[in-house]
C-alpha cells in the first residue's frame, strides 16, 4: 500500500510541480513583457511611482489624466519642461546636415545582401565631422521606418530637448516626418550616434554612425600626423567595420604617427590586439588621457558603446595589424609590406594606473551631496538594477549643482557597459583601489562580474537622462533607469499608447 501511495504521489505530484514551475515562468515572462511595453509612463514622474503595484500605478495614471488641466495649473512655478532646454544662441560657425532614415537593401563587399535600415542609404550612416565650438544642426527625415526613429548623440553633452529619446525628450519621428537637432560641439573627441527608438532593434538594423569633433588645438600628447576611424557594428548576422565585411585598410608611411579612433557600436565587449608596433591610448570616450605611456603587446578591451583613440607609430618596414578575436575576419591593416607575427599572451590594458596624474585636474575632494549605489544583475527573464527593471527602478534624483557619487557593482549577467546620458563622469576607484594614473572621464563604463566602481558626476546639465547598460539587449531586458533633475518635466510619454519605446 505504501508503495502505491508513493507512486500515486509521484505521478500526481510531478505534473503539478512541473505545471507550477511552467506557470511561474510564464507569469514572470508576461510580467517582463508588460514592463517592456507599458501602456503609458511619464519618465519624469517615476519617483512618485516607485514601489507602486501595477493597480496602484494604473490608478495614479488615471487620476493624473482626470486631473489634466488642474494639475498643470497647480504645478510648481519653478518647473521647467525638457522641451524648453535648448542650445544657447551663439555666433559659432554652423554645420548643417540632413540625414534620412529608410529601409534599404545593402549589398555588402562579401557579396551578401542585407535588409537594412540606413541613414542616407548607408550603414553606418555618414560620418559627421565638425570642429570644437561649432553649432551643429542635423535634420532627421524618416522615409519609411514604420515605428518611428530618433537620433541620440552618444557621449555628446547636449541640452535635454536634443537627446533623441523617444517618449522622454521627443516623440519618435514617424514616416514623412522630420526633427531638427541643434547643439554645440563643446568637447573634442570620438563619438557616435544611433536611434533611441526601439534601440536594440534599430541599431542592429543599421541606424547608427560616427561623429567626430576635431579640436581647435591639438593636445601636447597627440603628435599624430594622420588618422582613421573604425566603427564596428553588428548588422543583423553580419559583423562589419565601416560597413565592410572584409576588414579595413589604412594608409601608413614608415615613421608616421596615426590616430586610430575605435568605436564599438555593437553589444559585446571587444578586445583588440595590436601587432607590429607599440601603442598609446590617447583618449577614452573622447576624453584625452594625461601623459599616456607606451604599451607593448597590450590587449585593449572596449565595451559596447565605448570609444578608444590609439596612437600608433608606424615601423620602418611592414604593416601594423589591429584585430579582435570577436571580429576575426575584420582586421585593420595599417601601412604596406610584410605582416607582423601575431604575439600571444598580451597584458590586459588597465586605466587604473595608466598615464600620470594631471597637476591641473586634482581628484575631487568635495563631500558629495548625493550618493547612490547601483547593483547591476539578472533575474529569471530580466536584467536588473537593484533588483528592479525598467520604469520600476526608482530614478537617481538630483538638483542642479549637486556633487554626486555613484557606486556601480556588476553582480552578474554578463558584461555591463554602463552609460549615462547628458553627462561625463570621472572614475574614482575600481574594487576599492583609487586611480593612480591619469584622470579618467567617461560616458560609458565597462563593468565585469565582481567589479565595483566609484564614479563622480557633477549635476551640471538639467534634464531627464537615461542611464542604462549599453549592451542594448540588456537595456531591452530591463537594465535601464533615469537620472532626473528636480523640477524638470516632459510632455512626452513612453509606452504603447504613444508608440514611444526607447529601450525595446
Centroid of chain to Cα 294: 28
Angle at 306 between CA 481 and CA 99, to 5 degrees: 85
Mean pLDDT per 10-residue run, the chain (504 residues)? 57 62 57 77 75 45 39 57 96 97 97 97 98 98 98 98 98 98 98 98 98 93 94 96 98 97 98 97 97 95 98 97 96 97 89 96 88 94 94 97 98 98 98 97 98 98 98 97 98 98 96
| Edge-to-edge strand list for the sheet holding 189-194 | 128-131, 208-214, 189-194, 152-154
Phi and psi, residue 25, nearest 5° = -65, -45
**Rounded-to-integer distance, Cα 134 and Cα 141, Å:** 22
Q: Is 466 helix (H, G, I), strand (E, B) or coil?
A: strand
pLDDT of res. 49? 47
The neighbour count for residue 378, using CB atoms within 10 Å, is: 18
**Rounded-to-integer distance, Cα 420 and Cα 407, Å:** 13
Strands (E), 149-225: 152-154, 178-184, 189-194, 208-214
The neighbour count for residue 281, using CB atoms within 10 Å, is: 21
Q: Are 377 and 412 in contact (CB under 8 A)?
A: yes
Residue-wise burial string across 104-132, b where 16 or more C-beta atoms lie within 10 A, e elsewhere? bebebeeeeebebbbbbeebbbeebebbb
pLDDT of res. 53? 42
Instruction: Kindly report the pTM of this predicted structure.
Output: 0.91
Residue-wise burial string across 421-439, b where 16 or more C-beta atoms lie within 10 A, e elsewhere? bbbbbbbbbbeeeebebbb
Q: How far apart are the first and last CA of the chain?
A: 56
List, in order, residues 6 or more apart from 63 with CB less than 8 Å away: none
pLDDT of res. 26? 58
Amino acid at each position: 500500500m505504501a508503495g502505491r501511495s508513493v507512486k500515486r504521489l509521484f505521478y500526481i505530484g510531478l505534473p503539478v510541480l512541473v505545471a507550477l514551475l511552467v506557470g511561474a515562468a510564464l507569469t514572470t515572462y508576461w510580467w517582463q513583457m508588460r514592463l517592456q511595453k507599458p501602456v503609458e509612463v511619464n519618465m519624469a514622474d517615476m519617483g512618485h511611482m516607485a514601489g507602486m503595484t501595477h493597480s496602484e500605478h494604473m490608478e495614479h495614471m488615471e487620476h493624473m489624466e482626470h486631473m489634466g488641466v488642474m494639475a498643470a495649473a497647480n504645478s510648481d512655478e519653478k518647473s521647467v519642461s525638457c522641451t524648453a532646454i535648448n542650445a544657447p544662441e551663439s555666433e559659432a560657425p554652423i554645420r548643417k546636415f540632413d540625414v534620412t532614415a529608410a529601409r534599404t537593401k545593402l549589398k555588402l563587399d562579401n557579396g551578401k545582401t542585407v535588409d537594412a535600415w540606413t541613414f542616407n542609404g548607408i550603414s553606418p550612416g555618414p560620418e559627421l565631422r565638425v570642429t570644437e565650438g561649432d553649432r551643429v544642426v542635423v535634420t532627421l527625415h524618416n522615409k519609411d521606418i514604420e515605428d518611428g526613429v530618433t537620433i541620440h548623440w552618444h557621449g555628446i553633452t547636449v541640452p535635454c530637448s536634443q537627446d533623441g529619446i523617444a517618449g522622454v525628450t521627443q516623440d519618435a519621428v514617424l514616416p514623412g516626418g522630420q526633427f531638427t537637432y541643434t547643439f554645440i560641439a563643446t568637447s573634442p573627441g570620438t563619438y557616435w550616434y544611433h536611434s533611441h527608438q526601439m534601440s536594440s532593434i534599430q541599431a542592429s538594423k543599421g541606424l547608427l554612425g560616427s561623429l567626430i569633433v576635431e579640436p581647435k588645438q591639438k593636445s601636447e600628447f597627440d603628435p599624430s600626423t594622420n588618422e582613421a576611424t573604425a566603427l564596428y557594428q553588428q548588422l543583423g548576422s553580419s559583423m562589419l567595420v565601416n560597413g565592410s565585411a572584409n576588414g579595413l585598410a589604412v594608409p601608413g608611411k614608415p615613421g608616421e604617427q596615426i590616430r586610430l579612433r575605435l568605436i564599438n557600436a555593437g553589444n559585446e565587449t571587444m578586445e583588440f590586439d595590436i601587432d607590429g608596433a607599440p601603442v598609446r591610448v590617447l583618449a577614452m570616450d573622447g576624453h584625452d588621457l594625461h601623459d599616456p605611456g607606451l604599451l607593448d603587446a597590450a590587449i585593449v578591451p572596449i565595451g559596447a558603446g565605448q570609444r578608444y583613440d590609439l596612437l600608433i607609430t608606424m615601423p620602418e618596414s611592414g604593416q601594423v595589424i589591429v584585430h579582435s578575436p570577436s571580429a576575426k575576419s575584420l582586421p585593420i591593416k595599417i601601412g604596406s609590406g610584410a605582416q607582423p607575427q601575431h604575439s600571444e599572451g598580451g597584458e590586459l590594458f588597465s586605466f587604473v594606473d595608466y598615464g600620470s596624474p594631471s597637476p591641473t585636474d586634482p581628484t575631487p575632494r568635495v563631500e558629495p551631496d548625493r550618493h547612490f549605489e547601483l547593483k547591476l544583475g539578472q533575474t529569471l527573464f530580466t536584467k536588473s538594477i537593484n533588483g528592479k527593471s525598467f520604469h520600476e527602478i526608482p530614478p537617481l534624483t538630483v538638483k542642479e549643482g549637486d556633487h554626486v557619487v555613484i557606486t556601480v557593482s556588476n553582480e552578474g549577467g554578463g558584461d555591463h557597459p554602463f552609460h549615462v546620458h547628458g553627462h561625463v563622469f570621472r572614475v574614482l576607484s575600481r574594487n576599492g583601489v583609487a586611480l593612480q594614473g591619469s584622470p579618467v572621464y567617461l560616458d560609458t563604463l565597462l563593468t565585469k562580474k565582481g567589479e565595483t566602481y566609484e564614479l563622480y558626476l557633477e549635476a551640471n546639465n538639467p534634464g531627464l537622462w537615461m542611464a542604462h547598460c549599453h549592451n542594448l539587449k540588456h537595456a531591452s531586458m530591463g537594465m535601464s533607469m533615469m537620472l532626473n533633475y528636480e523640477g524638470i518635466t516632459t510632455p512626452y510619454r513612453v509606452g504603447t499608447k504613444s508608440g514611444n519605446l526607447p529601450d525595446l
